[in-house]
Every structure is written in C-alpha cells, then in structure tokens.
Amino acid sequence: MAIPAHEDAMRPRENGRTRTAAPMMAGNWWTASPRYRAYVAYAFAGVLFWLQALILVRGLWALGTGEVAWNAYLEDLQNPIYVAFHVLSLAVLVWYGARTYFKLFVKTQPPKIGPLPRPPLGVFPPALAAAWIVVSLALIVVLGGIWP
C-alpha cells in the first residue's frame, strides 16, 4: 500500500512549471533490504534514548528525595527485567555509536570546518574511537568507585 512520503522526498532542485503529485512511497519499503532495516532501526533507537534518559532522571529524582528513595531505585534496577533491558540497551547503544562515529560521521563532514580545511577523513574514525574509549573509561572509573 502506498503512503505519503515526506514532502521534500525526491524534490527537484528547482520547481517544475507544472504542479506535481505529492510524493508517495511503498508502506513496507523498509523491509526490502538489510540496509533499509538498519536505517529504520537507527532512527527508532530514539525510543531507547528516551527510556534511558527517563531511567536516569528517575535516579536523579530519587537522589533528591533522600537515601531511602535512592536505595529503592538501586534495588529496582536489580530486577532481572531491568538488567535484561540494560544489556539490550548497551548492545544497541554500542551499535548506534559505531554506526554514528565510524560510518556516518565521515560522510557528513563539510570540506571546511569554519575557516580551516577539514582534516583527512581517515583521521576521524581513530580519533572518535579514542574519544569514546577515554570518555567511557572516565565514567567507569568514577561510577565504579575507583576515583575520586
């Protein structure tokens, strides 16, 4: 079944002299290829961003309520359903990050960054991987009670 597509889909650079029909697309287009499915999964990872953000806000709220609420929050997180959800979330977030930093980032860089020429594209993946490792290790060290 055809459904309306985004109004800018397949829009020509300049409008033609005659009106054209609104763009349509097949309703199940995204099932046709693994690439399309990955693209849609990437977009719907937004649900996960929201759920994780809400879990964290709930933690902050508990921290503001007091020690009993904070301990209850940590106890809730021990529910096997929560743990399974977090394992799934971790896998999706790592996949999402790898796709963002190593696949999409280099394709979306302009030729100039401000007044400066863009560094060679090959520089970005190792630099982003290093940033990812450094930030993750810093958070693991702090949240793991190692430092400070």
Partner 1 sequence: MEHGPAKRFVNAIEPLIWGPFVTGNFLTPLVFPAIVLMLGIAQPLGWLPADALSYERAHALATHPITVLGILVVMPLAMLAGSHHLRFGIIDVGSAEHDGPVALLLYGLWQLGAVATAVAILRIFFA
Half-sphere exposure of 2 (CA within 13 A, CB side): 6
Q: How far is the CB of 49 from partner 1 (least distance, A)?
A: 3
Residue 4: asked if its preceding bond is cis (omega within 30°), the reply is no
Are 5 and 23 spatial neighbours (Cβ–Cβ below 8 Å)?
A: yes
Residue type at position 77 = L
Q: Is residue 11 part of the contact set for partner 1 (CB under 8 A)?
A: no
Given the rule CB under 8 A, which of 10-18, 71-79, 114-122 is the region that contacts partner 1?
71-79
Q: What residues make contact with partner 1 under the rule CB under 8 A?
A: 3-7, 22, 30, 39-40, 42-50, 52-57, 59-61, 63-67, 70-71, 74, 77-79, 82-83, 85-87, 89-90, 93-94, 96-97, 100-101, 131-132, 135-137, 139-140, 142-145
